[in-house]
Amino acid sequence: MDCIFCAIARGELGTKLIYEDEDVVAFEDLNPQAPTHILVIPRRHYPSLQDVPKDEIGIVARLAAAAQELAAERRIWPSGYRLVVNSGSEGGQTVSHLHLHVLGGRQMVWPPG
Ligand code: 5GP
Ligand code: ZN
């Protein structure tokens, strides 16, 4: 299977991993939309949030835990940050490997575009 995020998680593209545990890795977004823009992904390939089986949904909490740690480390808390999971075409998802965007370092606006 040809998945760019799987390749990054395996360390094949030389992308610097800024967080790593048994199940989760994180790295800087290539096209940052904020001063801090990190992608947190499961090592296992799920095309989208909808594809996570109910008995594996705990991985989403693991992504959130990594985001929490990174937000503290990057000092975007307590100023604040945004977590985004684009899902499917109308959700704005362009890479078909579940990922959590961690955005911070500037004022976010609501609603998003
Ligand atoms: P999506 O639109 O699917 O929610 O987000 C995909 C994100 O992945 C985009 O923000 C895009 O900039 C980022 N991205 C796509 N390809 C690469 C890559 O090869 N390396 C990194 N670091 N980020 C990527
Ligand atoms: Zn993948």
* Higher per-residue confidence, 34 vs 1: 34
Going by C-alpha positions, the residue among 46, 80, 78, 76 that lies closest to residue 63 is 46
pLDDT 10s digits, 45-76: 999 999 999 999 999 999 999 999 999 999 99
Counting Cβ atoms within 10 Å, is residue 100 exposed (0-12), middle (13-18) or buried (19+)?
A: buried
Q: What residue has token string 């975007």?
A: 76
89 touches ligand 1 (CB under 6 Å): no
Mean pLDDT taken over the chain: 97
Q: Provide the whole-model pTM.
A: 0.98
The C-alpha atoms of residue 94 and residue 79 are separated, in whole angstroms, by 29
Q: Is the predicted pLDDT of residue 41 greater than 90, yes or no?
A: yes
Which phi-psi region, left, alpha or beta, contains residue 80 (left: φ > 0; alpha: ψ -120 to 50)?
left
87 touches ligand 1 (CB under 6 Å): no
Give the pLDDT of residue 113: 83
DSSP state, 38? E
Query: Average pLDDT of 67-87?
Result: 98
| Closest ligand by atom to 43 CA | 2
Give the pLDDT of residue 98: 98
pLDDT 10s digits, 4-14: 999 999 999 99
How many angstroms is it from 101 CA to the middle of ligand 1?
9
How many angstroms is it from 12 CA to the middle of ligand 2?
13
Query: Average pLDDT of 40-45?
Result: 98
Query: Average pLDDT of 27-42?
Result: 98
Domains of the chain: 4-104 (3.30.428.10)
Give the pLDDT of residue 1: 75
95 touches ligand 1 (CB under 6 Å): yes
How many angstroms is it from 15 CA to the middle of ligand 2?
15
